Chain A
Amino acid sequence: MSTYRLTIKCDNAQIELIAKNGALVGYEMDRYLESFVNRKIESAPYAMQKSQAPFNNQAAQQYSAPQPNFAPQQEYTAHIEQPAYNMPPQQPQPQVQQPQVQYNYNQPPQQQAAPVPEANEIHFVQSEPAPQPQVQPQVQENYTQAETPAQNTYAEQEAYISLGDFLASNKSTDVFSEFIISAYYIKRVLNIGHFTLKMLNGKFYPATGTLIDMAIIDEARTRGFIESLEEDGSLKYTLSSAGESYFINQLRG
């Protein structure tokens, strides 16, 4: 299932929308489109960077100094296409029979998001006013690495990712698969060797709205996906090698 992420930064505020529903993200983008296009930049012409110049044509025309001789549309087109040039080459993907989604941007987001409300998360982040680093770790970077269960695939570059994001970016079809993904998240992303059921549900419930019960634990243990041990008087669990292989081969997005 595809994941959609929309980030809007303005001054020192940042809004981040992560969803499995493309129509919701499209609807939110449409809301910002008009204000983005019509927005005027208040900075002085001399202070503009060249990449910002096409956005400020009106201010540039009012300035009497010699104007650079460039075609605004060409300059701007090059600017907005730059991310496309940086895209990783698209891998030939097998033709999976997926239902064609017709995005209807005219419907309100509540109706669009209804089928998978637990999959959508909106983060409001108050960031520092200092310049933010432009480099953000990307989820797909580690996907090219060898798929060995023992390898710490996500830990270093994706420690920031929430369980909700992690579930959304993998193939969680039911509570059991969500449990296996969560166990992998705890072991490989959070680098926590063993977890208790209480600790797991402390992370699982906010992300999914449901709880893991002993039936799920027993099924995973029966299938050899988790191992349990008693430590400090409490029962703790960890994802086994078989569980990691199951995640990598069956559940990883």
Chain B
Amino acid sequence: MAEYVFKMKKGEIEIELSSDDAEFVEQQLAKWREEILKKQG
């Protein structure tokens, strides 16, 4: 079974999500990307 991982690091904070639920990981990744890029803009 495939496992999907995405890890975010900022300074001393590190957040890592791993799951075999591809859809869930994709949703979370999209949400975080959108929020961070919104902040960058």
Answer yes or no: do A and B interact: yes
CA A83 – CA B28 in complex, angstroms? 13
Query: Cβ of A39: which chain B residues have Cβ within 8 Å of it?
Result: 10-11, 13
- Expressed in whole angstroms, the minimum distance between the Cβ of A152 and any Cβ of chain B is 20
Query: Cβ of B11: which chain A residues have Cβ within 8 Å of it?
Result: 39, 41-43, 52, 55
Mask, B18-37, CB within 8 Å of A = 1, is 11111010011101110111
A54 interface residue per 8 A CB criterion: yes
Closest partner residue, chain B, to A23 (CB atom)? B24
- Expressed in whole angstroms, the minimum distance between the Cβ of A42 and any Cβ of chain B is 7
Can you name 19 A-B residue pairings with CB atoms under 8 Å? A2-B21, A4-B17, A4-B18, A5-B19, A7-B17, A7-B18, A9-B15, A10-B14, A25-B19, A26-B24, A29-B15, A29-B17, A36-B15, A37-B35, A37-B39, A42-B11, A89-B2, A90-B2, A140-B20
Interface residues of A, Cβ cutoff 8 Å to B: 2-11, 22, 25-26, 29-30, 32-34, 36-39, 41-43, 51-52, 54-55, 57, 72-73, 76-77, 80, 83-84, 86-91, 103, 138-140, 143, 253
Determine whether the beta carbon of A36 is less than 8 Å from that of B3: no
Given contacts A39-B10, A77-B33, contact A6 B3 (CB under 8 A): no
CA A142 – CA B7 in complex, angstroms? 22
Determine whether the beta carbon of B37 is less than 8 Å from that of A84: no
CA A83 – CA B11 in complex, angstroms? 18
Shortest beta-carbon contacts, A-B, top 5: A2-B21, A41-B11, A83-B6, A9-B14, A7-B16
Contacts between chains A and B (CB distance < 8 A), count: 118
Could you say which of A6, A41, A83 contacts B10, with CB atoms under 8 Å apart?
A: A41
Query: Cβ of B36: which chain A residues have Cβ within 8 Å of it?
Result: 37, 76, 80
Given contacts A9-B13, A55-B10, contact A84 B29 (CB under 8 A): yes
Closest partner residue, chain B, to A91 (CB atom)? B2
CA A16 – CA B3 in complex, angstroms? 17
Query: Cβ of B10: which chain A residues have Cβ within 8 Å of it?
Result: 36, 39, 41, 52, 55
